[in-house]
Chains A and B, each alone.
Chain A
Amino acid sequence: MESQRLFCTFRVDGHLFGVDMLDVKEVTTETTHTPIAHAPDEVLGLVNIRGHIYLSLDLRRLLGMPESDVTINSRLVLFKPSIGNAFGVVVDEISEIHPAEPDRIEVFDSSTHEIVAAAIRRVDLIAAVCKLPDELLVVLNPRRFLTIVDQNLVSSA
């Protein structure tokens, strides 16, 4: 039997999202970023974490949610180099580490949602949906984050 997976969960605009914990490098409070000139909207700027420079993305903008200011609960979730080159996303609030049994996880295939897929281009950010007792945990695919930024850049240019 497959062992249970661990998800690092967080809230954006009140909704519960998560990424596989093995993809996460670190969670940090450092959210003061230096803006980059002519950067896309999704890019908040550069962040200095203990001497290393990371690209900070706004997960709200990536998910197509209304903009919001950085609050005291905002956290920067940094990903491992295997996911993408030195980047992280800013989330509204970090939640817990949710262990999830494999039978609670359903892979989200955008091709089965053709009607919405056409309308919502960013649906391919979602990797799976995990059924928690009181709500749904939308598991995101962090590998797509930088790709989405590139796509937007191309489509806007």
Chain B
Amino acid sequence: MKNLKLATKMLLLTTILMTSVLVVAYVAVNRLSTVNAQIRQLVDSTMTKAARSNEAHVKFLASVRAQKNSVLSPEDEGSKAYATASRTAMTEARDLVEKLKEMAGKDRVEGQLSAVEALSKALENAERIHNTLLDLASQNTNVKARRLLSSDVQRQVEVLAARFHTWFEDVITKGTNEAQVLPRLKTLYEIHESLLAIQPNAVKHIESSSDDEMTAVEKKLNDLQDRIQQGLNTASGGDVSTQVEVRSLLSDLKTSLDKMEKLSRLDTNNRSIAMSLGESKVAGDECTKRLTEVDKSLAEEARAGRDMGEAAYANAVRWIVGTMLIGLILGSLIAILVTRSVTRPVFEVRNLAQSMADGDLRQRVALRQSDEVGELSDATNSLADSLTKIVNQIQKVSEHLAGSATDLTGVSNQLLSQSQTASLKAASVASASEQLSSNISTMAAAAEQMSVNVASISSASEEMSMNVGTISSAAEQTSTNVAVVSTAVGEISNSFTDVLNDVREGSRVAGDASRMADSATQSIQMLSQSGTEISKVTETIKMIALQTNLLALNATIEATSAGEAGKGFAVVAHEIKELANQSAKAAEDIARKIEGVQGDTRQAVQVIQNVSQIIKDINSSAGRISASVEKQTRAATMISQNVTEANKGVGDIARSIAEVHKAAGDMSRNVAEAARGATDVSRNVTEAANAARGISSDIHGVKQASTSTNDSASKVHESAESLDQIGKELRKLVRRFKTNTDETST
């Protein structure tokens, strides 16, 4: 059952169904036709028998009617015709009953045969009586007698009466002898009376059926005739001729009466009527009774037939219903078997697909069948296997990715802290360089002032030198000028000291800046190294994302090959692919940002190197300033000394005008030198100021670079975090699938 094809199972199912239907139909048709045949046979025979019986009854009744008619018919001809009809009808009835008997004998219905036989016997009896009766009826003796009576007898009686009447008249006309006449009249009257009594007695004889009565009437008739015979002599009065005539008439009458008596003696009509009312009626009643019995038996048979039909119908219904039930139960059992063998594996496969959709890939269908469902389950198993394989790979990759993301986060944290340090350091460098710049600006202002002062010294000394000839006149002026110079020189000296201090401060600041720049360079180089490491990590991530993408593509291909069942996984694969693309994009972003950071870092390194160089320049400039300022200080001290000397020697200017001249020349020379030095200082200081501004701007650049580095580092950090998040999501997504490797690993 298991290894049959689905189509075969369906065919089997259909065949079972068809077979049960065919069997039920065959049984139904067979049973129904049997019932039909039985009922038809029963009904046919019963109907025929009933018809025969009825016909026999009708014939019998017709025969009885014809018999009655025959009995009642006064004429011989009519009576005979009726008798023939009655006999024919009776014979037909007999024939019908014989046929009925034959049929009843064939049918072998209990009681029926005996009833029919009884009927037949009764009918036979009835026929016998009937025939006798008909024979009698056809003779019509009473009627003939009566006719004889009314014709011959009456005529003869009338002739005799007429003769007697003649005798009366004769007596009356010839009556002379009273004695003679009176006995004659008396006798005549007596014979006349006897003659008249003959007719009623004859009628009585005809009417009578009893033998005794008839003998009595005959005797009386003979008496009457005898009395007429005896009275004739007296009545005729001796007239022999008439006496002979009357005697012949009387003998005629006697002959007629004898004939009539003989006829009347037969008394067929009355006997036939009596028989018709007696025996024949009994026989007819018997026949009717037997017929009724036969009818009853037929009705019983019909009832039995009906019962039998009902029983056969019930039997047939039981057969049909029983066969149907057995067919139904068998068909249902086999159908359930087949359905189970189809649906159970399909359900199992569905459950597997459901659990796969829920993420459980450990389930497998264990079906050992080679039909389509078995193939489906095998395909589903292999789908689950390949999905497990893919999910395991993805899991591995995502683990790897998560590890990389964690690494990246650590590195980016490091980078962030380092860039923050660098930023802090750059900020302090910037503030220091700003301080340096302001100091240098102050120094520049002082140097400017000094330059102006030196210029004024120069002009004053030139003026002094020029006016040395006219010193005497301008002694006071000189004195004043010298005082001015002295003050100025003091101021210069002071300024120089300031400058020196400032320069030293600048030098110290520059040293700080240089150290910080070095430190920044170091930080930035570490940053650069971190960037390179991040680049490596992002490369790995890109590789992983690429692989994940490929896996997702293959998963999509597998899912599409699986058709409808793989649709759910196709969506998952698509999401994995999207995540992989996002990972790749994030890694790309990180790489790009790291590239930016690297560029910025390189720029920062360049700038810091510039700054370092400038600071070195500043340092050297400051050294030079310091040296020249010291020289100036020395010169100024010398000027101061000279001025003091001049101041001292002003009193004896005249005395030592040459000395003054020389001193003035010296001074002029010194002042020129100072002026040159001051210009140098000024130039140097300006240069320093420029350098400091440059530093300041560079430092700003550094600061900006470090800020952008910081930003980039933050973004890297964010990207790393989002990557970490993606890695976690990917892992979570993959964890949804429970695979066997999960079990072994946990």
Which A residues are closer than 8 A to B by beta carbons? 6, 8, 21-22, 24-29, 75, 80, 94, 97
A28 to B560 Cα, complex, angstroms: 17
Contacts of B556 in A (CB 8 A): 21, 97
Per-residue 0/1 for B546-588: is the Cβ within 8 Å of any A Cβ (1 yes, 0 no)? 1100100110110011000000000000000000000000000
A150 to B449 Cα, complex, angstroms: 97
B557 touches A28 (CB 8 A): no
A8 touches B550 (CB 8 A): no
Q: Which of B73-92 contact A (CB under 8 A)?
A: none
Q: Which of B422-452 contact A (CB under 8 A)?
A: none
A97 to B556 Cα, complex, angstroms: 8
B560 touches A21 (CB 8 A): yes
A8 to B561 Cα, complex, angstroms: 12
A97 to B560 Cα, complex, angstroms: 11
B550 touches A6 (CB 8 A): no
B560 touches A22 (CB 8 A): yes
Per-residue 0/1 for B665-680: is the Cβ within 8 Å of any A Cβ (1 yes, 0 no)? 0000000000000000
A94 touches B560 (CB 8 A): no
A27 to B553 Cα, complex, angstroms: 7
Which B residues are closer than 8 A to A by beta carbons? 546-547, 550, 553-554, 556-557, 560-561
Contacts of A24 in B (CB 8 A): 557
A27 to B549 Cα, complex, angstroms: 10
* Chain A interface mostly: strand
**Interface pairs (8), CB distance under 8 Å:** A8-B557, A21-B557, A22-B560, A22-B561, A26-B557, A27-B553, A29-B550, A97-B556
Decide yes or no: A6 and B560 within 8 Å by CB, A27-B554, A97-B553 being known contacts: yes
Contacts of B557 in A (CB 8 A): 8, 21, 24-27, 97
CB distance from B393 to the nearest CB of A (A): 11
B561 touches A27 (CB 8 A): no
CB distance from A19 to the nearest CB of B (A): 11
Closest to B551 in A: A27
A94 touches B553 (CB 8 A): yes
A94 to B546 Cα, complex, angstroms: 11
Contacts of B554 in A (CB 8 A): 26-28
A21 to B563 Cα, complex, angstroms: 12
Contacts of B560 in A (CB 8 A): 6, 21-22, 97
B550 touches A75 (CB 8 A): yes
CB distance from A72 to the nearest CB of B (A): 8
Closest to B547 in A: A29
Contacts of A6 in B (CB 8 A): 560
CB distance from A50 to the nearest CB of B (A): 10
CB distance from B575 to the nearest CB of A (A): 14
Contacts of A26 in B (CB 8 A): 554, 557
A8 to B546 Cα, complex, angstroms: 16
A24 to B561 Cα, complex, angstroms: 9
Contacts of B561 in A (CB 8 A): 22, 80
Contacts of A97 in B (CB 8 A): 553, 556-557, 560
Contacts of A75 in B (CB 8 A): 550
A28 to B546 Cα, complex, angstroms: 11
Closest to A73 in B: B546
CB distance from B400 to the nearest CB of A (A): 15
Closest to A95 in B: B553
CB distance from B588 to the nearest CB of A (A): 14
Closest to A80 in B: B561
Closest to B574 in A: A97
A36 to B561 Cα, complex, angstroms: 32
A22 to B566 Cα, complex, angstroms: 13
CB distance from B383 to the nearest CB of A (A): 14
A134 to B22 Cα, complex, angstroms: 67
CB distance from B387 to the nearest CB of A (A): 14
Closest to B558 in A: A26
User: Which of B547, B553, B556, B560 gathers most chain A CB within 10 Å?
Assistant: B553
CB distance from A101 to the nearest CB of B (A): 16
Cβ-neighbour of B550 out of A21, A25, A27, A80 (below 8 A): A27
The 6 closest A-B pairs by CB, nearest first: A26-B554, A24-B557, A27-B553, A21-B560, A97-B556, A6-B560
User: Which of B550, B556, B557 gathers most chain A CB within 10 Å?
Assistant: B557
Contacts of B550 in A (CB 8 A): 27-29, 75, 94
A27 to B561 Cα, complex, angstroms: 14
CB distance from A73 to the nearest CB of B (A): 9
CB distance from A114 to the nearest CB of B (A): 36
A138 to B561 Cα, complex, angstroms: 22
Closest to B386 in A: A26
CB distance from A116 to the nearest CB of B (A): 32
Contacts of A29 in B (CB 8 A): 546-547, 550
A75 to B554 Cα, complex, angstroms: 12
CB distance from B599 to the nearest CB of A (A): 24
A45 to B290 Cα, complex, angstroms: 120
